[in-house]
Amino acid sequence: MNRYRLSFGEINILSNSLAEVIVDEGIIMDGVMVDEYHDFLLSNLEAPFCLLVNKKYSYSYTFEAQTSIASLPEIKAMAIVINSQGGLMSTETLIKLNEASAWNIKMFHNREAAVTWLDLFLSNHVSLEFQSL
């Protein structure tokens, strides 16, 4: 696994088409950070790719970041690891705000289950629908 440090947190490359994103405590993701994030993904992953967002820390987004954070067409599925009620609420809000995008997204309490779901998605190239906890 390769680890990379960006201005807002860490990205771990788990495979050619799968990355884990861990945003640092207290970060306010803005449009510049989203651009940095997207540039990194496009430069370091093979499309189509999947993301494991590990919400181990508390952070927030500007409105611009909320509406563009997962706008890359190369992102085919996202698994979100939720560790708190606040993380669950912020993720549900983000999904609702972007519901027109019809993301393939699922929330998990367990990192291993999230990785398994993404591996299955990548191996089958199937479209999984949103499922809540």
Whether 129 is covered by a domain: the verdict is: no
Q: Does the residue 132 lie in any domain?
A: no
Q: Is residue 109 part of a domain?
A: yes
pTM for the full predicted model = 0.86
Span 22-30, average pLDDT: 96
Asked if the structure places residue 120 within a domain, the reply is yes
Rounded mean pLDDT, 58-78: 91
Domain assignment of residue 99, yes or no:
yes
CA distance 130 to 17: 20
Residue 39 confidence (pLDDT) above 80: yes
The answer to whether residue 130 is domain-embedded is no
Distance of CA 111 to CAs 29, 54, 66, 102, Å?
Answer: 22, 8, 23, 23
Identify whether 119 is part of a domain: yes
The CATH number for 49's domain is 3.30.750.24
The residue range of the domain holding 10 is 2-124
Q: How many domains does the chain have?
A: 1
68 located within any domain = yes
Model confidence pLDDT, tens digit, residues 10-22 = 999 999 999 999 9
